[in-house]
């Protein structure tokens, strides 16, 4: 189960990969979030903060994405246009 220090390490890795870089493509896996995709195009990540097991990705458009790894979640950095292999499934019961 990820704890605060693990989330901070993941946040640092994600920050190194995307802070101050414009987003060219945004895809949310949950249908409820699809309407927000366009709002993030060409915006830049300004910072990534953590709060316990939560990661807050802050953007220059004033929006913030809150994510929580629950019990077994994890963040993965990989090259653009590459989807990391996973057997995980999205659940929309939390939205």
pLDDT tier, 92 (very low <50, low <70, confident <90, very high otherwise): low
What is the tens place of the pLDDT at every residue in 39-89? 999 999 999 999 888 899 999 999 999 988 776 677 777 777 777 777 766
Output phi, psi for 5, to 5 deg: -60, -35
Q: How many domains would you assign to the chain? A: 1
Interatomic CA distance for residues 70 and 34, integer angstroms: 22
| Residue predicted with more confidence, 6 or 45 | 45
Q: Is the pLDDT of residue 38 over 90?
A: yes
Domain carrying residue 91: 1-95
């Amino acid at each position: 189960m990820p704890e605060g220090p693990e989330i901070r390490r993941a946040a640092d890795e994600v920050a190194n990969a995307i802070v101050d870089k414009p987003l060219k493509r945004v895809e949310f896996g949950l249908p409820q979030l699809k309407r927000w995709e366009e709002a993030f195009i060409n915006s830049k990540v300004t910072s990534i903060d953590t709060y316990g097991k939560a990661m807050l990705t802050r953007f220059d458009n004033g929006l913030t994405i809150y994510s929580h790894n629950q019990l077994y979640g994890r963040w993965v950095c990989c090259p653009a246009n590459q989807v990391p292999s996973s057997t995980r499934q999205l659940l929309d019961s939390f939205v």
